Structure 1
Amino acid sequence: MRLLYTVMLITTVLGSCKKYLDEKPDQALSVPDNLDDLQMLLDDVRGINAGQTAPNSSSDEYYLKPADWEALYQFDKDAYVWDPETDAHNDWVTFYRNIFTANTVLENLQKVNREMDATRWDDLKGRALFIRGMCYFQLAQIFSPYYTGSENSVYGLPLRLTSDFNQPVSRSTLKETWDQLISDIQSSIPLLATTNQYKTQPSRWAANALLARIYLLMGNYQKAYDHSDSCLAISSALLNYNQLNASLEYPINRLNSEVIYHMATDVPVTSFYWIARVDPTLYDLFASGDLRKKMFFIDNGDGSYSFRGNYTGEYILFTGLAIDEIYLTRAEAAVRLNKITEALAGMNTLLKARWATGEFHESTITDPETLLKFILQERRKELMFRGLHWFDLRRLNTDPRFQQTLKRNINGQVYSLPPNAPRYVFLIPRKSVDFSNIPQNPR
């Protein structure tokens, strides 16, 4: 009952009030003080494994009919047209709530004798560190500018490393933010099990996958390659799409063999994906022998298609870590490191599992520039609607070869988002800015 009371408190203060970084909970209330209680906090799948929503809402992977756009919640309407006043309140609350939980676990583990169950104690610490690092990474992709590894004067995030709400809040530098989240994830690796029985729980496998993603976004291709290699050394088994049943509403199962760490968007925020239409230029990238064309899309009967290829087994969007992403990360890192043979071999392995038997012909591209463009196109196709395209837009817009201007058209009104626009960084919720007196993101 003591734990139940604690969980209810955290949910009430940080969930329904939604004012983390704004209000202080009652410091006298009880907290969990044993491994069972602490594990239950981390086992809250609906909360801890909630993924980001803003990067999907603002992506150019889909379009909406004007009437459907008008019917959206205000945030989704604003995010769709990249309104400069859009504030991603739900993502801010979700991830800082989970950071609070992770900090609570880390602090209260110190009150539990590790020698009573050292393996479990270490695992819980590793899980909490991974979760905190993952949350700061997600927040950085939404509320901070793109990071290359050296920005010391650009604002990052408010770094909460304690559950004590009395400590004042300020915005760290972008470098401090990334140093902290990388440190958390790296520190989790020796504490975690190599794999986990439940893919909703962190593991060394997941930590290496996350670091591979992070270093690719930073442009540190050697580390992205190394962590991808470490990840795939644990398991590199791909789904054979020839064995999927295209007649099912959602052909790809939840927690399938490719899933490394499960995360998914929250249901109420993503309900508009029932009416989202896949961007035609994206759909047209898939050839007839590519089984993803059958597994990923539903024909709406009006010349448009909806997406159904979620690794959740339902319409809720998958935003976690999976083996297919790591193949693509390693291939991109490899070609950028001039490891052409390795890059090509990885891509052929992945695509062979995606094409109909007898239809796939191995790529023989040897020109680095052509191969890089090929990998980036396959990355866009394979990782649709996972939030990763928004991350890729941010990083690739720093390279003139890959810059894009995004456009929407609603009843003749054209909205655009040019490369490196300040609107690639969402506003911090105004209540947090006002209460904590932290600087707002520029417009």
Structure 2
Amino acid sequence: MKKIFILTITLATLLFTGCEDYMDITPKGKVIPQTVAHFNELMSNRNMFLLGPANMFQLSDDIVMYDDELNRLFTRVIETENTYLFKDHIYLSVDMSDPDWEGLYKQIYVSNVVLDNIDNAEGNDEDLRIRIKGEALAQRAQAFFWLVNLYAKHYDSNTSTTDLGVPMPVKADVNAVLTRATVQEVYTLIETDLLEAEKVLPTNPEYNYRPSKQGVQGLLAKMYLFMGKFAKALEYADKSLSEYSFLYDYKTYDFHPFMPKFMGPDQWPRMAKDDLEAVWGRVSGGFMPYTVAVYMSDELKSLYDEGDRRYYFSVQDMSMFGPNMHGPSILPLALRHRSGIHTAELYLIRAECNARLENATAAINDLNTLREKRFNEGAFVPYETDKTSDEALDLVLKERRVELFLDGQRLFDLKRLNKEPQFAKTITRTFKGQTYTIEPDDENYVLAIPKKVINLNPKMEQNPRAGRN
């Protein structure tokens, strides 16, 4: 086990510094596993595969920050400000690492090591061999899904074959010099990997951070939603929820009595691995993105109905670092900042697809199933089912904001909904006496390729920037 542990750490701690390839990786030692059991150890690396992206949290109309309180942040002050104001670059120096870019490409590299070698690995456990291959395909697909949605334009069937996506390594060759694939090419690989993984993975994982058939079906539902393929998204959301559909009942939880709110709810699961709504669990790679000095926007507050415990569990009058200066600040709970696949989001995906496919009653029924678990005792009032499809869709999008708040999903919803004129939105920020306006077609909805990567490979094409420095 010690040998495997060292092997896992060797591959998992590849740093993106100094190599002349597009990803900027320098391996600390090229140790290749030999057996199926070795590869299982690689795919068991919870510290690597549990982590999702973090840069999208401040890129949202759901939050407000104030310049007189920014200095209360104890980490990433400049980067947080740059993100909040949709500036051209989050990381200003060519020496600075982008944890999202690097972390996701590390997952892809390790997955590629497995895929390159698993077929010829020593060992007689063929069921394990097949499962590990399926896990590697699934983990690679999820990493590419986040990368293409952070660093490229939202999928558009009219332009996806020419829109620049992200570099797309499919072999574990750190010396390969690759250019950016198109958005369509990246989505095609994601779809191919997931469909292949779905065939071989078990229905339920041993641990929720490892992919399963149900988790892969959930990501397929999300991918097809982002692609605007609503019938396919509905099909896969149905498949996933038919296997497992648990929802927490928020009215059965409350904060620790006689203790500050920031201590969290009593008996609430403290570890992401214990999140029972997680079909394929991931959490933000950032350290407590809303620890202090970040507030819920008035617009978002207005969307919560009376007695909605999602609001109750999301704000606090005082953080662990002292009283707030601008009212209730955001409370980061143990299971928030989730970036994997969860049952609540699958209900919302299915509801949105039904609304868009003219089945308003089914959409409202899913919303009511979710909402019934989120209100104070006696406060839940179900939505009436006599809605038009447009009315049902409006309610779905409202519920996405209140349910998925704190999960970083709003950036991606803004990107995709801005393509629909009836939902396109202009965001205005006022900060340090200056007003910033983010139009629906703002170029900075797409994150910049890290300066460090561009510096190492000048042929890498940068995303257009809005000139907001």
- Among candidates 128, 133, 137, match of residue 129 of structure 1: 137
Q: Which deviates the most, 429-438 or 135-144?
A: 429-438
For 2:430 and 2:22, locate their aligned partners in 1 and report how far apart those are by CA, in whole Å: 37
What's the counterpart of residue 108 of structure 1?
Answer: 117
How many angstroms apart in 2 are the aligned matches of 1:196 and 1:104?
A: 22
Is contact 2:134–2:197 with CA below 8 Å preserved after alignment?
Answer: yes
- d(CA) in 2 for partners of 1:290 and 1:336? 26
Distance 1:345 1:5 in 2: 50
Alignment of 1:367-378 (within 5 A): 367-378=388-399
C-alpha separation between the residues in 2 aligned to 1:379 and 1:23?
A: 36
Partner of 1:250: 264
Name the structure 2 match of 1:263: 282
The structure 2 residue matched to 1:85, chosen from 83, 89, 97, is 89
Superposition RMSD in Å: 2.3
Equivalent in 182, 186, 193 of residue 173 of structure 1: 182
Alpha-carbon distance in 2 for matches of 1:304, 1:53: 25
- 2:301 pairs, out of 266, 272, 283, with 283
| Structure 1 residue 60: Cα displacement | 2.4
Q: Unpaired segments of 5 or more residues in structure 1?
A: none
Match of 2:161 among 147, 152, 155: 152
Separation (CA, whole Å) in 1 of partners of 2:172 and 2:77 = 32
Name the residue aligned to 1:307: 330
Post-superposition CA distance 1:333-389 (Å, at most 9, x none): 001001122111111111111122322222114122111111100110000021111
* Superposed counterparts of 1:12-411, under 5 Å: 12-14=13-15, 21-23=22-24, 25=26, 29-70=30-71, 72-87=76-91, 89-113=98-122, 116-150=124-158, 151-247=160-256, 249-251=263-265, 252-253=268-269, 254=272, 255-268=274-287, 270-271=288-289, 273-300=291-318, 304-308=327-331, 310=333, 312-313=334-335, 317-364=337-384, 365-411=386-432
Amino acid aligned to 1:40: E
Question: How far apart in 2 are the matches of 1:160 and 1:112?
Answer: 22
Distance, in Å, in 2 between the alignment partners of 1:74 and 1:99 is 29
Matched to 2:70, the amino acid is W
The secondary structure found in structure 2 opposite 1:156 is: strand
Following superposition, the deviation at residue 271 of structure 1 comes to 4.9
Residues 21 and 169, structure 1, Cα contact 8 Å, conserved in 2? yes
User: Which shifted more, 126-135 or 68-77?
Assistant: 68-77
SS at match of 1:122: helix
> Structure 2: how far apart are the matches of 1:289 and 1:12?
46
Displacement, 1:257? 2.1
Number of aligned residue pairs: give it.
438
- 2:405 and 2:20 mapped to 1: Cα distance? 32
User: Structure 1: which amino acid aligns with 2:463?
Assistant: N
Q: Once structures 1 and 2 are overlaid, which stretch shifts more, 222-231 or 301-310?
A: 301-310
1:12 deviates by 4.2
2:133 partner letter: K
Report if aligned partners of 2:314, 2:331 keep a CA contact under 8 Å in 1.
yes
Please, which runs of 5 or more residues in structure 2 have no aligned partner?
Answer: 92-96, 319-323
TM-superposed deviation, 1:57: 2.6
Question: Structure 1 pair 229/20, CA: closer, same or farther in 2 (3 Å)?
Answer: farther
User: Secondary structure of the residue that 1:438 maps to in structure 2?
Assistant: coil
Residue 460 of structure 2 corresponds to: 438
Q: CA deviation at 1:25?
A: 4.2
Write the distance in 1 (CA, Å) between the matches of 2:21 and 2:31.
Answer: 19
Which of 419, 426, 436 aligns to 1:415? It is: 436
- In the alignment, the residues of structure 1 paired with residue 285 and residue 125 of structure 2 have an alpha-carbon distance, to the nearest angstrom, of 34
Query: Once the 2 structures are TM-superposed, how far is the Cα of residue 19 of structure 1 from its aligned partner?
Result: 8.5
For normalisation by structure 2, the TM-score amounts to: 0.87
Relative to structure 2, which stretch is displaced further, 32-41 or 48-57? 32-41
Q: CA deviation at 1:96?
A: 0.6
Give the secondary-structure state (helix, strand or coil) at the position aligned to 2:316: strand
Whether the aligned pair in 2 keeps the contact of 1:89 and 1:428 (CA below 8 Å) is: no
**Shift in Å at residue 229 of structure 1?**
0.3
Change (3 A) 1:271 1:363: closer
Residues 419-430 of structure 1 correspond to what in structure 2 (within 5 A)?
419-430=440-451
Flag the 1:5–1:179 CA change in 2: closer, same or farther, 3 A.
same
Secondary structure of the residue aligned to 1:13 is coil
SS in 1 for 2:31: coil
Distance 1:385 1:354 in 2: 16
